[in-house]
Structure 1
Amino acid sequence: MLTDVQILSELKALEDVNSGADYGDVWQLSTQPESIMLTLRLPYVAQTEKQSLINRIQGTLSRLGEIRPVRLSIESTIEAYGTQGNLPGMAGVKNVIAVASGKGGVGKSTTTVNLALAMAQEGAKVGILDADIYGPSQGMMLGFDAETRPKVRDEKFFIPPVAYGVQVMSMAFLMTKDTPVAWRGPMVTGALMQLLTQTDWDDLDFLFVDMPPGTGDIQLTLSQKVPVAGSVIVTTPQDIALLDARRGIEMFRKVNIPVLGVVENMSTHICSNCGHHEAIFGDEGGDALAQEFDVNVLGKLPLSLAIRKQSDAGAPPVVSDEKGDVAAIYHSIARKLGATLANSNTSFEMPTIGMSDD
């Protein structure tokens, strides 16, 4: 049997696949003649990784002659991280994460809902704000009835409806499905701020904001008035999508909101008949984009008929096929996002945004 010192030495050097660094001094050890009891303390949630981590630890120790079984507990503490300009925090929300893209049609809303659901299954308290005022889709993706309306507290605050343990607020809950939002910019940004600040969010670790495409009024309002801890850029490998994704990254950089990583959606098409993989939208575009801006590729999703069907049916892959390959990718993205945010906790000065003739 190994000594406690030898075990801790091996554990400290074990790589955290979510951060890319060694775990270091985050372990608590209690050895007994019949087992090894471990507690892992993390600044991000990772409950679904527990068994794979036990297997890694057991394999590492067994190669050194240790045969006792490992018992593991993962404890996570989510802090409220720094925001642009150190804006005051939102009531009931620790961290706001913007999920954005430069253009529409790249799967941003699908990524938002599955990422939020995965983060909740990992152990965090999670909410979703559907900030696409003109084309809200989160209500449908989460299986809400078209007549769903939020309850109101004190005639002032919306109580967000809940689906799969996730709190949700959307313009879709305040209008009929056939009513167009024919509003100019000031009305849209006013509606966004009302949804954000007049929703009674209940002690969230993360509020994921499903952004509309582009870099216009909604994005600027969010960056100037809302404390955002970080952003995620969703793109496809297609050149035109990458071009617009670059603009999205540059916009967040100009307003000092850190880009936590890139999610490459529709990375490869998987034939439902033969299983052949084909990069019909291009190859390694997300990697090139991430390398250009020195950010992480959080994950790559296939172009899949099942993802579309499950999302349209109100039961996204993370909840309808929890053991499937797609759900595993979203869980990996959620853990990497949490680890990246925890390792990039920085305070920022808010710049002044203006127009010039240059």
Structure 2
Amino acid sequence: MGLEGEQVHQSGSGWSPVYVEENLGVMSVGFLLGSPDDAVIWRGPKKNGLIKQFLRDVDWGEVDYLIVDTPPGTSDEHLSIVQYLSATHIDGAVIVTTPQEISLQDVRKEINFCHKVKLPIIGVVENMSGFVCPKCKKESQIFPPTTGGAEKMCQNLNVSLLGKVPLDPQIGRSCDRGQSFLSEARDSPATLSYRNIIQRIQEYCEQQHSLEEKMI
């Protein structure tokens, strides 16, 4: 996001998010550390307390979407977020995997976790899905999907595959520089994939909200 070195400011209505753009505010534990190299060595209660503060004490204002980027796996952070937001009717979870079986094993557990806590699954995104050579345009599988990848897993578990994002070195460079990949590489196959995924997520959320309004 290009927000290294930023600090959280307190206002009368709570913590103020750090804004990347006028319509994109960010809150991160990284803003609260003395150095970017500091480790966060916290037990559950302290982590849960900070999650609650981020949800309750940040002056988010009117938002269209609140996106929570969680650590991999099924740790207590996930359970805390689901519990704290249960009254808000969460739209759902977007689960990200890579094609290798070792990644799919963790994601199957995450899908099972979502089912157990009754958290809707918007869909699955397969990251690092092939590599398209920028010169010859030939596609190669850097991480071969030996068990069928995310597509096969989604079919078996009856969840939606939102899309596949191919490897693109520009993604890493844009992230390191805090720049928008979608603006920096408009013609990349990865950009097209991102936009299609975003569109499908928006359509899902709008459909869910429409159903909720009809029920009311």
State whether structure 2 residue 53 is matched by structure 1 residue 194.
yes
Shift of 1:273: 4.8
Distance 2:203 2:104 in 1: 25
Distance 1:312 1:173 in 2: 17
How many residue pairs match? The answer is 204
Instruction: Determine if contact 1:260/1:340 at 8 Å carries over to the other structure.
Output: yes
| Superposition pairs of residues 112-131 of structure 1, within 5 angstroms | none
State whether structure 2 residue 145 is matched by structure 1 residue 278.
no
| Superposition pairs of residues 244-255 of structure 1, within 5 angstroms | 244-255=106-117
Instruction: Determine if contact 1:160/1:199 at 8 Å carries over to the other structure.
Output: yes
Aligned residue type for 1:341: C
Instruction: Determine if contact 1:317/1:326 at 8 Å carries over to the other structure.
Output: no
User: Aligned pair in 2 of structure 1 residues 184, 312: CA closer, same or farther (>3 Å)?
Assistant: same
1:290 to 135, 148, 154: 154
Shift of 1:168: 0.7
Distance 2:136 2:186 in 1: 23
| Superposition pairs of residues 197-276 of structure 1, within 5 angstroms | 197-226=56-85, 227=88, 228-276=90-138
Q: Percent identity?
A: 34
Distance 1:323 1:207 in 2: 28
Highest Rg: 1 or 2?
A: 1
Name which structure has the greater RCO, CA cutoff 8 Å, separation 6+. 1
Instruction: Determine if contact 1:268/1:280 at 8 Å carries over to the other structure.
Output: yes
TM-score (structure 2 length as normaliser): 0.87
Distance 1:189 1:319 in 2: 35
Aligned residue type for 2:78: Q
Distance 1:209 1:169 in 2: 10
State whether structure 2 residue 189 is matched by structure 1 residue 325.
yes
- 1:302-327 residue CA offsets vs partner (Å, 9 max, x unmatched): 11111111111111312323454322
Instruction: Determine if contact 1:262/1:299 at 8 Å carries over to the other structure.
Output: yes
Shift of 1:272: 4.4
Structure 2: gaps of 5 or more residues: none
State whether structure 2 residue 9 is matched by structure 1 residue 147.
no
Distance 1:323 1:200 in 2: 36
1:182 to 38, 41, 54: 41
The equivalent residue for 1:170 is 28
Structure with higher strand content: 1
Distance 1:167 1:300 in 2: 27
Structure with higher helix content: 2
Distance 2:75 2:63 in 1: 27
Instruction: Determine if contact 2:92/2:120 at 8 Å carries over to the other structure.
Output: yes
TM-score (structure 1 length as normaliser): 0.54
Distance 1:324 1:204 in 2: 29
- 1:87-134 residue CA offsets vs partner (Å, 9 max, x unmatched): xxxxxxxxxxxxxxxxxxxxxxxxxxxxxxxxxxxxxxxxxxxxxxxx
Aligned residue type for 1:149: Q
Partner SS state of residue 206, structure 1? coil
Instruction: Determine if contact 2:128/2:165 at 8 Å carries over to the other structure.
Output: yes
Structure 1: gaps of 5 or more residues: 1-141, 348-358
Distance 2:139 2:189 in 1: 14
